[in-house]
Structure 1
Amino acid sequence: MTSAFPVGHTDRDALRAEVSRRLQQDAIDEGGDAGRDAVLDGLIAEVLREHNLVALAERRPPLSTQSEQSLRQSLRDSFLGLGDLQPYIDDPDVENIDVNGADTVFVSYAGKRPVQVGPIASSDDELIDMLQTLARHSGAQERRFDPGMPRLDLRLPGGARLFATMAVTQRVCVSIRRHRFPQLGLSDLADMGTISPGMVGLFGALVAARCNIVISGGMDTGKTTMARALCRAIEPWERIITIEDPYELGLDLDPAHPNVVAMQPREPNIEGQGGVDMTALVRWATRMRPDHVVVGEVRGGEVIPLLNAFNQGTDGSLTTIHASSTREAFMKIASYARQTREQLPFDVTFQLIGGGVDIVVQLGKNTDGQRFVTGIREVVDADATQVRSNEIYRPGPHRHAMLTGRFSDTMVDRLIEVGYDPQSLGARGSA
């Protein structure tokens, strides 16, 4: 028995190279991904069997059952997943993964500081190869990852978000954000301490009253988790259109909402044709008879069609934005509108905010990783110089939201109409 890989060599890289060589020789064009998976599994089994036979012929112990199973999974992950990154992606306690080259990897576990772990590939070239394979099999839209398109932005199976760069950085870099709680509701957020028990009914009523909500906060403060929890309060028969870059909310994967259309921008092809941006998708979404439009994050020209949707009857919609306070969220929206092709002046944008946005929710995060609501503001109206609003909750002790104001009479009537008594919030100064 002879083998193309070094005799007696148990290094995974050599085994992977041999599987890759045989994979290229096999005809796997037919059968799609399922056919490729079957061929790959067969080749891995074949190469491992040959390796064990060579070991026996040389009077060396073959791989143990446990070692063979581990090696089999590692090889499979290197072709169909993310190699030695895959165990971290599958670990429910991992929140973030940062890769600064194949051998410089940091993993953040829930509520803990990042720790450096071992290499996740034998070289940067192998890591690039894994990412390119992942890009080719990422869904209906094939995504490139090469010097001509040096970034990769996509959703992994299971909902984690991956962003990678090459050529513009000294080494290939990867950032992965895992959403540990893909199907949490408002009660779950209360159990986690993100919102107070009294806010569960309030947020449910705001959704039922079809308020347009902006979720504001810094990086990694739980905005997507909050958006997902609010969406789970939407009745299952209502139609939801989501627009994200990339997919993160995963509402289209949630059995609680069967009528969901998830949309994502598309990069232009090599000829520069066929690109579709967030702005176009928001406009398209409003023509698809939505009950709710959800924009994963506002950060550019899509702010104008979104504000128009808020003002033209698509009530019950929501979005997220990066801002450090509920009031700053208004200026962020106005700044984005000013930078668009239309270059809307601030007074016009303020009028759109005042007429379309109902509620701004602010999120924060403390040093031990706990995420929580720090403020809630009701938008009442606007004039040429400012957005008029009521600060219902503001940061209190330890920055957690504290009741300090009251809703307008108009909002009180809307909440009462859906069966919620605003008096249940308690006295001012309570959480």
Structure 2
Amino acid sequence: MNASQPTNPRRSTWVQGKTTPTTAKLPPALPSDEINALRERVAEQLTRRARASEAAGEPPWTPERRRQEAQSLLAGVLQDEATAAITAGRAPRDPHADRTLTARVLDALFGMGGLQPLLDDPTIENINVNGCDVVHVRYADGRRARVAPVAASDGELVEMVRAVAARAGVEERRFDRGAPQLSVQLPDGSRLFAIMAVTARPSVSIRRHRHPTATLRDLLRLGTIDPGLEAFLTAAVRARRNIVVSGGMAAGKTTVLRALASAIAPSERLVTVEDAIELGLDADPRAHPDVVALQAREANIEGEGQITTADLVRSALRMSADRVIVGEVRGSEVISMCLAMSQGNDGSMATVHASSSAQVFLKLAAYAVQAAERLPLDATGLLVASAVHLVVHLESTPDGRRVVASIREVVGADGAQVISNELFRPGGDKRGRPHVPPSEDLLTALTAAGFDPQWLHSPERWWPR
């Protein structure tokens, strides 16, 4: 592993594939040795103080109390350093430098170190680190920029990821040459993926979730859907239609899935299945008081103990769930998911990577071939057709906004081919508008769930033209 020093912290912005340096100046990097020394000093004092508190019979410290104590200790340390500097005839650090140093040390103790300032920026959507000093971000409005280094060396970057892994998620996750890949959920709900040993330099990718409690009304405000689609999708969820949300990378599938789930009645029992927990439906007990969030587990160092998402979907079928929600289908779990959807768990949902709504069925069939059941293509087509009712597909508009572009209704199967009608088709702006009327069965179910069929005959009430 190369311990590369930060080389070029200059910021640049990419526009339509071109790189244009901006004039924005990045804040000067603080010496990593100084931050680490203060972190270790405060951590040692914090441990002693916490043990003394426990020995005195006081209640265990909450995370907030622990941070407050650390901040108090750090203020004392910095005051001692300022006094020593004045005594020695040196100028102490100015207040701004002290505040910056305090933030960095607290980030190292409780946050994500050099990544924390990026995580604190609500306008940043994705963070990609290709070595400690090659850091790129993507903003919510589509802009891309290269920003300052997040660590002093690649070795420090790896240690930072290990520290995060040690305190994130529901189980310990290794990150070393024997386990060079790591996928965890961060405290703010973001998803971190890190890889080392099989790359020239360690790499970290963080996908932010700017809308952790999204609703369909939120999607309407964001411009992802229009009033007609809000009414249609709300009724589809309440009518217990099985829905697959599709789209490309970073298309907003998880956010839309979370928004669809917001239309589920609080009285229903939900079981979510994910490779790394992202949906966070269990974090909102008012909206979803009865939720079990299941997360896949990797094998241990002896190669044992692995629990796949397919295993978890099968487990969900034994947990009296009203609905099963699979965060992302990308393998053999498709069989278990379809069985869940077609065996009494109506209203279940999932996401899948696909470039169009029509391609979803090909992707599901390809995943089914990988399953241990080895279903023939004809049987796979019948299974998917009996399980999935609607496909909701996302695309990006020319100005970079994510929108619902297409909705397909599954009406049957002809051998291996799934037959569907495109109820909403994207126009030139990629926004989905009514194209083919729903089947009589679907329209009856939607109407019973509160959908006004007049929406389908009033184009002026949909997207602005």
Both proteins in one fold, TM over 0.5: yes
Structure 1 residue 232 and structure 2 residue 262: aligned? Answer: yes
Change (3 A) 1:45 1:130: farther
Report the AA paired with residue 14 of structure 1.
Answer: E
Q: Is the 8 A contact 2:246 2:353 kept in 1?
A: yes
Aligned 8 A contact 1:218 1:322 in 2 = yes
Structure 2 CA distance for aligned equivalents of residues 215 and 253 of structure 1 = 22
Instruction: Evaluate the alpha carbon distance shift between residue 140 and residue 182 of structure 1 in structure 2; reply closer, same or farther with a 3 A threshold.
Output: closer
Counterparts of 1:364 and 1:419, CA distance in 2: 27
Name the counterpart of 1:350.
381
Partners of 2:181 and 2:228 in 1: CA distance: 43
Q: Verify: 1:11 aligned to 2:27, yes or no.
A: no
| Structure-2 change in CA distance of 1:12 and 1:62 (3 Å) | farther
Question: Which residue identity lines up with residue 158 of structure 1 in the other structure?
Answer: D
Cα 1:15–1:374 change in 2 (3 A) is: closer
Rate the CA distance shift 1:185–1:173 in 2: closer, same or farther, 3 A. same
Report the Cα offset of residue 140 of structure 1. Answer: 3.0
Q: CA 1:397–1:243 in structure 2 vs 1: closer, same or farther (change >3 Å)?
A: same
- Name the counterpart of 2:363: 332
State the partner residue of 2:230.
200
**Is the deviation greater in 64-73 or in 97-106?**
64-73
1:244 equivalent in structure 2:
274
Instruction: Report which stretch shifted further, 196-205 or 409-418.
Output: 409-418
Match of 1:169 among 175, 179, 199: 199
Is 1:272 the counterpart of 2:292 in the alignment? no
Greater CA deviation, 131-140 or 94-103?
A: 131-140
> 184-193 vs 161-170, which deviates more?
184-193
Q: Is the 8 A contact 1:212 1:358 kept in 2?
A: yes
> Is residue 55–residue 61 contact of structure 1 (8 Å, CA) maintained in 2?
yes
Give, in whole Å, the separation in 1 of the partners of 2:264 and 2:312.
22
- Supply the AA of the counterpart residue of 1:299: R
SS at match of 2:261: helix
Code of the aligned partner of 2:90:
R
Q: d(CA) in 2 for partners of 1:286 and 1:188?
A: 31
Match of 2:128 in 1: 98
Residue 168 (structure 2) pairs with residue 138 (structure 1): yes
Unpaired runs of at least 5, structure 1: 1-9
1:12-411 matches, within 5 Å, as 12-20=32-40, 23=43, 34=63, 41=71, 44-254=74-284, 255-411=286-442
Letter in 2 for 1:55: A
Alpha-carbon distance change, 22 to 251 in structure 1, aligned in 2, over 3 angstroms: closer
Task: Give yes or no for contact 1:81–1:130 (8 Å, CA) kept in 2.
Answer: no
- Structure-2 separation of matches of 1:210 and 1:201: 14
Cα displacement string for residues 281-320 of structure 1 (whole angstroms, at most 9, x for unaligned residues): 0011111111111100000011010000111010000000
Q: Taking structure 2 as the reference length, what is the TM-score of the superposition?
A: 0.85
TM-score for both structures, normalised by structure 1: 0.92
8 Å contact from structure 1 (residues 212, 316) kept in 2: yes
Which deviations, in whole Å up to 9, do the C-alpha atoms of 1:164-211 show, x marking residues without a partner? 111111111111111111122112212211112111111000001000
2:174 and 2:62 map into 1 onto residues whose CA distance is 18
User: What is the RMSD of the two structures over their aligned residues, measured on CA atoms?
Assistant: 2.2
Q: Deviations over 1:382-409 (max 9, x none)?
A: 1313112111011212221121101111
Instruction: Work out whether residues 12 and 71 of structure 1, in 8 Å CA contact, stay in contact via their aligned partners in 2.
Output: no
Contact (CA 8 Å) 1:269, 1:275: kept in 2 or not?
yes
Residue aligned with 1:154, SS:
strand
| 1:235-259 CA-partner distances (Å, limit 9, x unpaired) | 1111111111111111111232111
In 1, the alpha carbon distance for the partners of 2:332 and 2:129 equals 31
Paired residues of 1:80 and 1:134 also in contact (CA < 8 A): no
Q: Which moved more, 1:295-304 or 1:140-149?
A: 140-149
2:183 and 2:382 map into 1 onto residues whose CA distance is 34
The farther-off stretch of 11-20 and 355-364 is: 11-20
How far is the alpha carbon of 1:333 from its aligned partner? Answer: 0.2
Q: Which runs of 5+ in 2 are unaligned?
A: 1-29, 55-59
Q: Say which SS state the counterpart of residue 358 (structure 2) adopts.
A: helix
Deviation at 1:94, TM superposition (A): 0.9
Cα distance, 1:20–1:339 mapped onto 2, change above 3 Å? same
SS at match of 1:48: helix
Aligned CA distance change for structure 1 residues 76 and 22 (closer, same or farther; 3 Å): closer
Q: Which amino acid aligns with 1:348?
A: A
Question: Is 1:423 the counterpart of 2:454 in the alignment?
Answer: yes
Letter in 2 for 1:326: S
SS at match of 1:399: coil
